[in-house]
């Protein structure tokens, strides 16, 4: 099995122009694929944040406190 590629730290100031140049040379199909890859990266990052938030909520027993938290939020924001 081939080892996973390890990311190499590259200064953003040097990397941005290189990536912009590559993007400018891409055709529609390549741009569409790149867009899907970027969306997948966003999904994975958001999923990680959501998972961390659920873990935090579970650790602080917030699920059982939802009715109380909703009532407090409504009271603070003028809901009936």
- Determine the Cα–Cα distance for residues 35 and 26; give it in Å rounded to an integer: 12
Q: How far, rounded to the nearest angstrom, does the alpha carbon of residue 32 sit from its chain's CA centroid?
A: 19
Question: Please, are residues 23 and 34 in contact by the beta-carbon 8 Å criterion?
Answer: yes
- Portion of the chain with pLDDT greater than 90, in percent: 55
Residue 37: how many CB atoms within 10 A of its CB?
10
Q: What is the pLDDT of residues 64-78, one digit of tens each?
A: 888 888 899 999 998
- Determine the Cα–Cα distance for residues 77 and 48; give it in Å rounded to an integer: 30
Q: What is the pLDDT of residues 30-43, one digit of tens each?
A: 999 999 999 999 99
- Portion of the chain with pLDDT greater than 70, in percent: 92
- pLDDT of 11 reads 93
Question: For residue 56, what pLDDT band results from cuts at 50, 70 and 90?
Answer: confident
């Amino acid at each position: 099995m081939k080892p996973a590629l390890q990311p190499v730290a590259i200064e953003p100031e040097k990397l941005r122009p290189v990536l912009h140049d590559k993007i400018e040379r891409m055709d529609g199909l390549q741009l569409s694929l790149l867009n899907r890859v970027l969306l997948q990266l966003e999904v994975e990052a958001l999923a990680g944040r959501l998972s961390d938030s659920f873990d935090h909520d579970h650790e602080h027993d917030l699920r059982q406190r939802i009715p109380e938290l909703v009532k407090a939020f409504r009271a603070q924001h003028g809901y009936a």
